[in-house]
Amino acid sequence: MKVLGIETSCDDTGIAIYDSKKGLLINEVYNQNILNNKNGGVIPELASRQHMESITLLLKKIFITEKEMKDINLIAYTAGPGLVSSLLVGATFACSLGFSRNIPVIPVNHMEAHLLSPMLHSELIKFPFIALLVSGKHTQIIAVHQLGQYELLGNCLDDAAGEAFDKIAKLLGLKYPGGPELSKLACSGIKNVFHFPRPMIHHSNLNFSFSGLKTYVSKVIEKSDKTLQTKANIARAFEDAVIDTLLIKTNKALKEKKWKRLVIAGGVSANYLLRQKAEKMIQEDFNGKVFYTKLDLSTDNGGMIAYLGFLRQKQAKKPQLNILVKPKWSISDLCLFSL
Ligand code: KG4
Ligand code: ZN
């Protein structure tokens, strides 16, 4: 079975083909970093216009022959969560393509796709496990009982981890998206020159709040001498504070459930220090194992959408011009999405 995956939830346009026998055949992404850099972030209207241009270019790029198009058995697209104008581009494109070629279409949840993406490459991941989902808009701890059964244990109350990375990076004068840039700068930072709070670690719940930390760090930046070394030291302390907070709460979740398997997914899971510290924690405290996906599949892409389409193929509908998106779509409410 071959699944075409289409991702346009925010600012990355992704198209991929997943083959159930051979794995991921193609995974192409066009990002909008130049545009976002110019504007200091994502502007929804501009992002959707850019998707309109990129999506046809990408389709032309990946389909060499008409025969290859005929080999596609299913089209999966991101229906939410995300920016409505961006989601609509991918949804309209997927539904029109399915309708015109008589291929079934399936709308899928972006966060579920992140969550299951490490399974694309590792057969060792077995249910149940704890998932730490960390992206530009989400910071969640989820007890994953089985495919489609997700218990939300912790959520972010304000800024998500990726958003906090991006905002602090901007204050440090770095490019967009700031997470990877801040992380690079932090490598030359000296540990413990600055120390920032680990928010909400003494609360009994598993929720997160990074907005106070962001304000605290922004004041430190303002008062600092702004030399490159000071910026690197601040970046290092900030990265440590966010990662420690994420892992302290994840540790609690693993203990609560008495589970030993951890999956970390979403854009921030590309962070090297997070992976390093998570591995240390899971080995020392649980004698368990942590899984993530390959680096190019950590941030938004069509590959994870195509793979989730394959896993959820039973829910696919006959091609119809009924275009569905759900900008606010919680992973713990998947069944509410009436197709
Ligand atoms: O999952 P994703 O590609 O998009 C959303 O669904 O939001 O995540 C993007 C986020 C951005 O905030 C970006 O700065 C962050 O992931 N990110 C990182 C790293 N790579 C991407 N944050 C920290 N360290 C990284 N290496
Ligand atoms: Zn994402």
The average pLDDT across 321-326 equals: 89
Alpha-carbon span 171 to 217, nearest angstrom = 9
Alpha-carbon span 219 to 284, nearest angstrom = 36
Q: Is the pLDDT of residue 127 over 70?
A: yes
Determine contact, residues 164/243, Cβ cutoff 8 Å: no
Is 134 known to sit in a ligand binding site?
A: yes
Is 166 known to sit in a ligand binding site?
A: yes
The average pLDDT across 109-115 equals: 98
pLDDT in tens, 185-237: 999 999 999 999 999 999 999 999 999 999 999 999 999 999 999 999 999 99
Q: Is 25 exposed, middle or buried (0-12, 13-18, 19+ CB in 10 A)?
A: middle
pLDDT at res. 199: 97
Is 300 known to sit in a ligand binding site?
A: yes
Q: Is the pLDDT of residue 85 over 70?
A: yes
Q: Determine the distance from the C-alpha atom of residue 4 to the mean position of all C-alpha atoms in its chain, rounded to a whole number.
A: 19
| CB of 80 closer than 6 angstroms to any ligand 1 atom | no
| CB of 180 closer than 6 angstroms to any ligand 1 atom | yes
Q: Which pair of structure tokens corresponds to residue 45?
A: 């209207």
Closest C-alpha residue for ligand 1 atom 7 = 136
Nearest Cα to Cα of residue 77 among 334, 325, 339: 325
Alpha-carbon span 169 to 36, nearest angstrom = 14
Q: Is the pLDDT of residue 337 over 70?
A: no
pLDDT at res. 59: 87
Nearest Cα to Cα of residue 47 among 173, 55, 71: 55
Is 179 known to sit in a ligand binding site?
A: yes
Nearest Cα to Cα of residue 239 among 268, 208, 259: 268
The CA 265 to ligand 1 mean position distance, Å, reads: 10
pLDDT at res. 68: 78
| CB of 166 closer than 6 angstroms to any ligand 1 atom | yes
DSSP code string of 81-124: SS-HHHHHHHHHHHHHHHHHHT--EEEEEHHHHHHHGGGGT-TT
The average pLDDT across 309-329 equals: 90
The CA 296 to ligand 1 mean position distance, Å, reads: 11
The average pLDDT across 149-161 equals: 97
Question: What structural domains does the chain harbor?
Answer: 2-115+298-336 (3.30.420.40), 126-293 (3.30.420.40)
- Which ligand does the CA of 264 lie closest to? 1
Closest C-alpha residue for ligand 1 atom 8 = 267
Q: What percent of the chain shows pLDDT beyond 90? A: 89
pLDDT at res. 336: 47
The CA 271 to ligand 1 mean position distance, Å, reads: 8
Alpha-carbon span 97 to 115, nearest angstrom = 27
pLDDT in tens, 29-71: 999 999 999 998 999 999 999 999 999 999 888 876 777 788 9
Alpha-carbon span 304 to 102, nearest angstrom = 23
Could you tell which of 165, 181, 185, 275 is best to mutate to test the pocket of ligand 1, judged by most ligand atoms within 8 Å of the CB?
165
> To which H or E segment does residue 75 belong?
strand 74-80
| CB of 278 closer than 6 angstroms to any ligand 1 atom | no
Read off the pLDDT band of 274 (50, 70, 90): very high
The CA 301 to ligand 2 mean position distance, Å, reads: 8
